[in-house]
Amino acid sequence: MATTTTKSGEITFDQAAPARSLWSDALRRLMRNKMAVASIVVILFFVVIAVTAPIIAPHDPTFQSRIRTGGGVELPPFWVADGKPGYPLGTDVSGRDVLSRIMYGAQVSLSVGFIPMLIILIIGTIVGMNAGFRGGWVDSLLMRITDITYAFPDLLFLLIVISALRDTPIASLLGGLPLMFIALSLIGWVGVARLVRGQVLSLREKEFVEAARSIGTSNGQIMMRHLLPNSLAPLIVSAAFGVPGFILAESFLSYIGIGVRPPMATWGGIISDGFASINSSPHLVWVPATCIGLLTLAFTFLGDGLRDALDPRMKL
């Protein structure tokens, strides 16, 4: 940075180059990454579909139309001879419009990807921060819980929790979505807490924390103002990598019939409904499978891009 000395001897800094923060730098690097930008476009595409589904979906996703063809129960998609333009992707076994179900399914997949992630970020950060900074019983407890969680296969634990809570009042709310959020949060927060704890353990010995403490900054202030912002980067990256896992878990659970309850439209549910006729109407499987694949790929590549943008040396 260029400096000039004025006549009185003061040193002033040239303001020609605008100040760039860590975050604006990271954003610039992210935007130069083609895969990351493509991923953001894909994610935004699904977000727009999910948000506008009630307006742009051609039909009610649960309405069972009686339009049928001579051959099969379901209406074929438009590229097959008997297809009707009003039902671009045809209808499923129950006569429901598949395109509308795919659109509404995006709502489920995205909310299952984002909401539990938000919950575990909050819980995990609070627990991890306290465990790392204060140590003591919070830390020992967290380590014991980690041991237990790591001994459970994730999917198995998810299956047990969901089936255990299946007959409670919360399970019948909103097609079982809140139950899905709770179950996913239960298995996810430990990983976040571990990550934050590790960050805090190395950060709290750094000079800037010592400096902050020496001028009398309270523990709460140190955690909020110094430790949290400095552990954000790996947290954001791990969140991006965590979302696909949630989306997949929901899809698989809905596929085996214990996820989101019918008649609510979900991609896993559409695959499950169409699986029996995979030979005659393969699009009932490949269209939702492609949606799941695209969305999870997008989050994974976004995670890659974020990792490179936030800290080129960071390895997760």
| Maximal C-alpha separation, the chain | 95
Does position 141 bind other proteins by CB under 8 A?
no
Contact, 217 vs 258, CB < 8 A?
Answer: no
12 phi, psi to nearest 5 deg:
-120, 150
The residues in 199-228 that bind other proteins, with binding defined as CB under 8 A, are none
Contact, 37 vs 44, CB < 8 A?
Answer: no
Which residue is it, tokens 């609510």? 264
Nearer to other proteins, 140 or 221 (CB): 140
| Distance in Å, CB of 152 to other proteins, minimum | 6
The residues in 70-89 that bind other proteins, with binding defined as CB under 8 A, are none
| Distance in Å, CB of 227 to other proteins, minimum | 30
Which sign, positive or negative, has the C-alpha torsion 46, 49, 51, 53? negative
Of 99-107, 113-121, 146-154, 204-212: span binding other proteins (CB under 8 A): 146-154
Nearer to other proteins, 67 or 256 (CB): 256
**Contact pattern from residue 167 through residue 196 relative to other proteins, giving x for each residue in contact according to CB under 8 A and a dash for the rest:** xx----------------------------
First to last CA, the chain: 33
Distances (CA, A) of 229 to 222, 224, 226, 232, 264: 10, 7, 6, 5, 39
312 phi, psi to nearest 5 deg:
-60, -20
Of 244, 259, 269, 305, which one interacts with other proteins (CB under 8 A)? 244
Contact, 49 vs 57, CB < 8 A?
Answer: no
Does position 56 bind other proteins by CB under 8 A?
no
| Distance in Å, CB of 104 to other proteins, minimum | 20
| Distance in Å, CB of 17 to other proteins, minimum | 36
Q: Which of 30, 21, 20 is nearest to 312 (CA)?
A: 30
Does position 156 bind other proteins by CB under 8 A?
yes
Nearer to other proteins, 12 or 279 (CB): 279
Q: Give the side-chain half-sphere CA count within 13 A for 68.
A: 10
Nearer to other proteins, 247 or 310 (CB): 247
Does position 62 bind other proteins by CB under 8 A?
no
| Residue ranges that bind other proteins, judged by CB under 8 A | 144, 147-148, 150-153, 155-156, 159-161, 163-168, 244, 248, 251-252, 255-258, 271, 278-279, 282, 285-286, 289, 292-293, 296-297, 300-301
